[in-house]
Structures are given as C-alpha cells and as structure tokens.
Amino acid sequence: MEEGIKVYSTPTCPYCKAAKAFLDGKGVQYEDIDVSRDHEAAKKMVEASGQMGVPQIFIAGKIVVGFDEESLAKEIESMQ
C-alpha cells in the first residue's frame, strides 16, 4: 500500500462522515475514495482488507475498518 491516508467511503455512510470529520478535526490530510462510484478501488479495498464494509482507512500500510476513534488516533500519532 502507498504512503499517506486513504479513506474508502460512500456518500451515504454516517460512519464514513464521522471518520472524515474526525480526521478533519485533527488537521490530517487524506484522499477520500468513493467506492460506490469507483468499482476498481472497491475491489482493491476488499482484496487488501478482506472486508466489504466502509469506512476503511488505510494509514501508512495499516487498515482501520469502521470508525474507531481510538485506533485512528493511535495510527495518526505513529505517523508523526
């Protein structure tokens, strides 16, 4: 996986919105990938994680599935 943060999400997912709001609140830059429109990205997401649910946040080679504030904060801290 590439460096940086990628958020695999859908526009209607409340947990996706919460995860992105959390990252925005931390001032963290990320790439938002809408898997409802980008089917190739959705396929890569499932291959990498074995999971179909969103959000999936890829942070420097690690994957956080769902909106897990504690795990996200830990991974963000490890990047700094």
Confidence of residue 80 (pLDDT cuts 50, 70, 90): confident
36, pLDDT greater than 80: yes
More confident position, 64 or 4 = 64
Q: Which CATH number fits domain 5-68: 3.40.30.10, 1.10.390.10, 3.20.20.80, 3.10.180.10?
A: 3.40.30.10
Contacts of 73 (CB under 8 A, 6+ apart): 26
Tell whether omega for the bond before 55 is within 30 degrees of 0, i.e. cis.
Answer: yes
Residue range 18-27: mean pLDDT, rounded: 96
29, pLDDT greater than 80: yes
Q: What is the pTM of this model?
A: 0.92
Report DSSP letters for 14-63, one per residue: HHHHHHHHHHHHTT---EEEETTT-HHHHHHHHHHHS---S-EEEETTEE
Confidence of residue 3 (pLDDT cuts 50, 70, 90): low
State which amino acid sits at residue 62.
Answer: K
